[in-house]
Structure formats: structure tokens, C-alpha cells
Chains A and B, each alone.
Chain A
Amino acid sequence: MAAAALRPAILRRIRLSPSPAAAAGAAAASQPHALARWLARPMSSHDAHLTRDEVVDRLLDVLKCHPKVDPSKVSPEAHFEKDLGLDSLDTVEVVMAIEEEFKLEIPDQEADKIDSLPLAIEYVANHPMAA
């Protein structure tokens, strides 16, 4: 009884400020991407995830450095076989080079599907371990 009476008095005295984490959560909730980043941060060992532009730039460089690719034909929409004139063996080599560049290990089933730059960009940009 006494406690119940005391409670409003105490609450009036103490003004709780929201904790920093709760504030960050509230701020993040207003932007869905920021929320995802905020949730991923404690699980992640590196500071910043790669931006899409960075992924595109580095992928274009990997392609341009490949001996069989004509650097002038490389564009973010290029298809390995149709636009760049690579065959299936070259495609495997290119995907391996991409793995090395971003320090990834792409499983065979996934690697078989990557046959164009848009797909490669998509895969690397969405990969949580790409570095």
C-alpha cells in the first residue's frame, strides 16, 4: 500500500533519460537501412560494409586486369560470354579472381550462376563477408 503511494512520488522525482542504445534504435527505426546496419554492427568484426560503388569499381578493375578481356568493353552491365567474349573456363577464372579480390569463398552452386557483371555486383554487394 505504502509502496503504491510512494511510486508516483518517486517517478515524479526521477526523470529517466532514454539510454543511448534505445535512442540509436529509435533513430535507426526511422531509416530501414540504418536499422539493418545498427543490428548488424555488434555481429560484425569490421567497421564499414563495402558501398555498392566501391564494389562496382573493384569488380571492373578485376575484369579489366584479366588477360583475355578487352578493357574498353568492360561495363557494369557486361555479360561475360556475350559481351566480353569469355568462355566457360574464363568465367570460372574470373569468378575465382573475384573471390580473391574480395576475400570470399563462393560455393560452386553460386559460382556457376555468376555469368555477368550485374550478377557479380549483386552477389558481392549482398555478401556480408566481402572485404
Chain B
Amino acid sequence: MAVAPTRAEALSLFRSLLRTARQFSDYNIREYTRRRTVDAFRENRVLGDAVAAAAAFADGKKQLEVAKRQAVVYSLYAPKAKSIMEMKLQ
């Protein structure tokens, strides 16, 4: 039986994903992960059905594991040059 995540659990997952997103050294991947997290939570916030909410939550947790693992892997291959988007405007 699927139990819908509580509001606090969902926000905690959201925060964990955003924290993990911040760890990527590559600008593009960092921003993509952040954007994808925000978009997915916005899209799924209307889920009223407990089964669908539980499935989305489980998927989010899986994605968090992926993101954590990939942040470590990508840190081994960090880009040597910064992205132009990270440069401070003169």
C-alpha cells in the first residue's frame, strides 16, 4: 500500500536534491539538476492521489541517489575552465 509522503518529507527531499545539485562542479550540470528538481516538484505538487504522490516521491529519492553518485564521479572530471556563465561581469 502506497503512502503519500508528508509535506515535510517532500520539502526535505526537495532541499536534499537542491543541495546535491550545488555540488556539481560543471555549471551546466549544476544548473540543469537544479532546474530539473524545481520543475519536477512544481509539476507534481498538484498530485492529489496517494499512489501517484508516493510513486513520484520514490522516483525523486532514486534520482537523489543518482545525483549524489554522479556528483562524486563528475568531481573527478571537473572542467578546467569555468563556464562563461560563471564569470562576473566587469
Binds A, one of B4-12, B56-64, B77-85: B4-12
A100 to B22 Cα, complex, angstroms: 9
Residues of chain A within 8 A of B88, CB atoms compared: none
A108 to B15 Cα, complex, angstroms: 8
Residues of chain B within 8 A of A111, CB atoms compared: 15
Interchain CB contact under 8 A, B12 and A108: yes
> A96-B19, A108-B15 are contacts. A89–B8 as well, Cβ < 8 Å?
no
B38: interface (CB < 8 Å): yes
Pair count A-B, CB < 8 A? 24
Interchain CB contact under 8 A, A92 and B22: no
Query: In the complex, how many residues of chain B place their beta carbon closer than 8 angstroms to a beta carbon of chain A?
Result: 13
Within B31-47, the residues touching A (CB, 8 Å) are 38, 41-42, 45
**Taking the nearest CB of chain A, how far is it from the CB of B49, in angstroms?**
19
Interchain CB contact under 8 A, B7 and A92: no
A112 to B41 Cα, complex, angstroms: 17
Residues of chain A within 8 A of B18, CB atoms compared: 92-93, 96
B14: interface (CB < 8 Å): yes
A88: interface (CB < 8 Å): yes
> A89-B45, A92-B18 are contacts. A112–B38 as well, Cβ < 8 Å?
no
Instruction: Enumerate chain B interface residues (CB-CB to A < 8 A).
Output: 7-8, 11-12, 14-15, 18-19, 22, 38, 41-42, 45
Task: Give 3 nearest A-B pairs by CB, closest first.
Answer: A96-B18, A92-B15, A89-B41
Q: List 13 A-B contacts (CB under 8 A).
A: A89-B11, A89-B14, A92-B11, A92-B15, A92-B18, A93-B38, A96-B15, A96-B18, A96-B19, A96-B22, A108-B15, A112-B8, A112-B11
